[in-house]
Amino acid sequence: MPSSSCPICESSSVTILNSPVMDYVTSTEFQVWQCGNCQIVFTVPRPDDMSKYYPEKYRRYNKAVIWLLKLLYELRAKRWSNWFHEPGTAFEMGCGNGIMLSTLRRNGWQVAGNERTVSAAAFARQSLNLPVFVGELDALTQHPFADLVILFQVLEHLPYPISTLTAIHRLMKSDGRLVIGVPNIRSWQAKFGGALWFHLDVPRHLFHFSVPSLEYCLAKTGFKILKVGFQSPEHDPFGWIQTILNRTTGKQNHLTKVLMGLERSQISTVLHFLLAMFAGIISLPLSLTSWILNRGAIMEVIAEKKDL
């Protein structure tokens, strides 16, 4: 049986938020619990071995999707660079294909990143010649060195977010900035989707954040939130499309699996694409309105370092 206490604050005030929630890769069922004290939401049980939940083609989209994501990620990274009077040193945890680090480097930054596996780091290291290492943050012995630290779509995957944020606190300079991008469990999209919400993504997402729960984690590890934004053209509209398809077809994330090459196109795929076109029309106004009213599916939190 899973532990009945919160993995963040150790409170016993935990309740089941969603059950069952199925992993669309393996069809394994999980539960999603919520802590009444720190408000964190977490996946239960936490797998001991995550390798089978990350197939080789996970998030390996076709060229058109990759081109669009690359464009939007580059714009986001340029905006981060513009916060500073001059380029400094940036570190990205879980840097993936290195698009954001590459953009920062073109803007004069010294950059470094890490990834969890050699295969995940291969493109950034070999094609973009970025200094990306495979391993944990304790491999970085120089403290502090970073003006900008990025955890974009990463923190929700980590088994020990408090330990990670504490380690990042040591890496950051006193006037540095921390950028965190995570799905928003209190978004309209999450409320609509429930256990079928696309960005719930259990068990790869071990934690599911809201502004209050992320603020709790950051305060506990020596950070203060400066700004929260909810605009995510990269992920929010598609999240609406896939969540609507999940609710209407009963076939979880079929469109996503086809785009990643995890599943071959079938006759039903044509129906999914037709429904996706309709869902796409309503996804844009839904996304825009949710951004304005701070209920977007993805939130970007900017934090500064405080003394512990």
Segment 87-110, tens digit of pLDDT: 999 999 999 889 999 999 999 999
Phi and psi dihedrals of 242, rounded to 5? -70, -35
Confidence of residue 142 (pLDDT cuts 50, 70, 90): confident
Write the CATH number for 182: 3.40.50.150
Distance, in Å, from the CA atom of 223 to the CA atom of 56, rounded to the nearest integer, reads 35
Q: Given a cut of 70, is residue 308 above it in pLDDT?
A: no
Which tokens go with 95? Answer: 């840097």
Confidence of residue 266 (pLDDT cuts 50, 70, 90): confident
In a domain, 46, yes or no: no
Pick the more confident residue, 231 or 140.
Answer: 231
Q: Cβ neighbours of residue 116 under 8 Å, at least 6 residues apart?
A: 94, 134
150 near 90, Cβ under 8 Å?
yes
Distance, in Å, from the CA atom of 14 to the CA atom of 7, rounded to the nearest integer, reads 10
In a domain, 181, yes or no: yes
Q: Bridge partners of 113?
A: 92, 132
In a domain, 155, yes or no: yes
Work out the angle at residue 164's Cα, subtended by the Cα atoms of residues 260 and 183, and round it to the nearest 5 degrees.
45
In a domain, 49, yes or no: no
In a domain, 102, yes or no: yes
pLDDT at site 247: 94
In a domain, 123, yes or no: yes
Q: Given a cut of 80, is residue 245 above it in pLDDT?
A: yes
In a domain, 151, yes or no: yes
Q: Given a cut of 70, is residue 49 above it in pLDDT?
A: yes
Q: How far is residue 293 from each of residues 130, 226, 236, 264, 286, measured CA to CA in Å?
A: 38, 18, 14, 38, 11
15 near 32, Cβ under 8 Å?
no
In a domain, 216, yes or no: yes
Q: Which domain holds residue 224?
A: 73-192+204-231+298-305
Distance, in Å, from the CA atom of 159 to the CA atom of 162, rounded to the nearest integer, reads 9
Q: Given a cut of 50, is residue 59 above it in pLDDT?
A: yes
Segment 7-41, tens digit of pLDDT: 999 999 999 999 999 999 999 999 999 999 999 99
Into how many domains does the chain fold?
1
Q: Given a cut of 50, is residue 1 above it in pLDDT?
A: no
Pick the more confident residue, 298 or 123.
Answer: 298
Q: Given a cut of 90, is residue 190 above it in pLDDT?
A: yes
Task: Check residue 16 and give left, alpha or beta (phi > 0: left; psi -120 to 50: alpha).
Answer: beta
Segment 271-291, tens digit of pLDDT: 888 899 999 999 999 999 999
